Amino acid sequence: MSKSKQIYTYVGVLVFVLLLNFWLPRLLPGGPADFLTGGTEDGAIFVSEAQKEAMLTYYNLNDSLWVQFLTYVKGIFTLDFGLSINYKTPVFDVILVRLPWTLLIVGAATVLSTIIGILIGLFSAWRYPGKTDRSLFLTMLGLSAIPEFLIGMILLILLASNLQWFPLGGAETAFLRSDYWLDHVLDVGKHLVLPVVTLTIGNLASIYLLMRNESIRVRNEPFIEFAAAKGIGERAVVRGHVARNAALPLVTIIVIRIGGLLAGSVLVETVFSYPGIGKLLQEAILARDYPLLHGLFLLLTVFVLLLNMIADIIYPWLDPRIRVAKRGDGQ
The pTM for the full model equals: 0.78
Short-list 196, 213, 215, CA closest to 112: 196
Q: Which residues contact residue 127 at a Cβ distance below 8 angstroms, ignoring those fewer than 6 apart?
A: 133, 136
Mutual orientation of helices 250-271 and 148-155 as an angle, nearest 10°? 50
Would you say 206 and 144 are in contact if contact means Cβ atoms under 8 Å apart?
yes
Burial class (CB in 10 A: 0-12, 13-18, 19+), 83: middle
Q: What's the pLDDT at 44?
A: 44
Best CA proximity match to 60, nearest among 83, 27, 41, 37: 83
* CB environment 196-233: b (16+ within 10 A), e (fewer): bbbbbbbbbbbbbbbbbbbbbebbeeeebeebeeeeee
pLDDT digit string, tens, across residues 179-216: 777 877 888 888 899 999 998 888 888 888 888 888 78
CA 254 – CA 219 distance, rounded (Å): 22
Q: How far apart are CA 84 and CA 280, in angstroms?
A: 11
Neighbouring residues of 173: CB distance < 8 A, sequence distance ≥ 6: 167, 187, 191
Indicate left, alpha or beta for 39 from its phi (over 0: left) and psi (-120 to 50: alpha): left
CA distance 64 to 31: 15
Q: Which residues contact 78 (CB under 8 A, 6 or more apart)?
A: none
Phi and psi at residue 168, to the nearest 5°: -75, -25
Ordered by where they begin, the domains of the chain are 97-288 (1.10.3720.10)
Model pLDDT, residue 38: 57
- Dihedral of CA atoms 127, 256, 3, 76 in degrees, nearest 10, equals 180
Q: For the chain, which residues score pLDDT lower than 50?
A: 42-44, 324-325, 331
DSSP 28: S
Confidence at residue 286, expressed as pLDDT on a 0 to 100 scale: 83
Give me the pLDDT at residue 223, please. 64
Note the pLDDT of residue 243: 67
Under DSSP, is residue 170 helix (H, G, I), strand (E, B) or coil?
A: coil
Nearest to 296 by CA among 91, 133, 69: 91
- Residue 35: its pLDDT value, please? 65
Element (H, E) at 142: helix 131-144
φ, ψ (nearest 5 deg) of residue 90 = -50, 135
Q: What are phi and psi of 86, to 5 degrees?
A: -80, -40
Cis peptide upstream of residue 90 (ω within 30 degrees of 0): no
Task: Give the separation between CA 229 and CA 4, rounded to whole angstroms.
Answer: 47
The predicted structure's pLDDT at residue 291: 86
Phi/psi for 5 (5° steps) reads -65, -35
